[in-house]
Amino acid sequence: MVGAAAIVVLTACFVPRSVGFSRCFGALGRYVGFVATLLRNFAGYAAALAGITAAVIAGDELGAIGGVNADVFMFAVTRASEICIGIICAGVVHAAADFGSARHRLAVQFATISAEITGGLIGTFLLAGPEQSKVRPARRDLIRRVTALDPVIDQAFGESSDLRPQARALEAATGGLFAALSAWRTVSVHLELLSSDQGRREAEIILENTPHELCSVTAQAEAIDWTVEPSRIRQACCVAVRALTVLPNRTPSLRLLATGQPRR
């Protein structure tokens, strides 16, 4: 509707094929393109659709051989009506076929990715130096999956209005997953560069101070624990943080593995 209204206004202010019309139409295209890069997901597509609609109506207005057509208003009404009908039909089909699973799907994906990152990080301490290269494909795949959470979050917002006030928390959760992947990469690269004996010795110290809940097979293989009992997993993570930050007689290398910082 914005694109259709914009092209009608431009036609009312300028004669099609005039310099002013061309400049304003080009400015409109640049503006909607800029807005489309700022917004995300469905909002970004909506901005792009405004520019596409304006271009389609402008093409119809100029006619097959570039001549002026005076039916721009009807072209705009027809084009906008077609799009609105399509949106309504898609909404009806979606409402009839989807029973509001986006919120549950988002929770499961968060839990699954969190469990896999934890399992991958713990597994990194079990690998020798050159073997660290084996975990890189899994880490890259997890980066892709964390990035793909963004449209799922938008879908959950659309289904559950009470979830929108938690937007900052969900954004922080996504950022936390990226931070965990970054820490995993730091640990993996550091252990790969260490000698086998030193790396194995320091890795054993880290594992000894990590709660069993985070090292168990259940935590790594079954994400359901992360959705059913999140408080227990959160408590285990807090215990791990306290234990690793107070390790005595830490070398810079061990401090890096424990806290991600080589110095205090």
Same domain, 189 and 203: yes
Same domain, 176 and 62: no
Q: Residue 18: which domain range? A: 2-97
Same domain, 93 and 111: no
Q: Considering 97, 122, 144, which residue would you say is the last residue of a domain?
A: 97
Q: Considering 76, 97, 118, which residue would you say is the last residue of a domain?
A: 97
Same domain, 242 and 118: yes
Same domain, 82 and 188: no
Same domain, 51 and 127: no
Give the pLDDT of the chain (264 residues) as one tens digit per residue.
888 888 888 888 877 667 888 888 888 889 998 998 888 777 888 889 888 888 888 877 765 544 555 677 888 888 888 888 998 998 888 777 766 778 888 888 888 888 888 888 888 888 766 777 788 888 999 999 999 998 888 888 877 777 888 888 999 999 999 999 998 888 888 888 877 778 788 888 888 888 877 776 444 445 666 777 777 778 888 888 888 888 776 678 888 888 766 554
Same domain, 28 and 111: no
Same domain, 120 and 83: no
Q: Please tell me the pTM assigned to this model.
A: 0.66
Same domain, 52 and 140: no
Same domain, 254 and 144: yes
Widest CA span in the chain? 83
**234 domain residue, yes or no:** yes
Same domain, 87 and 150: no
Radius of gyration over every alpha carbon of the chain, rounded to an integer in angstroms: 27
**Total domains, the chain:** 2
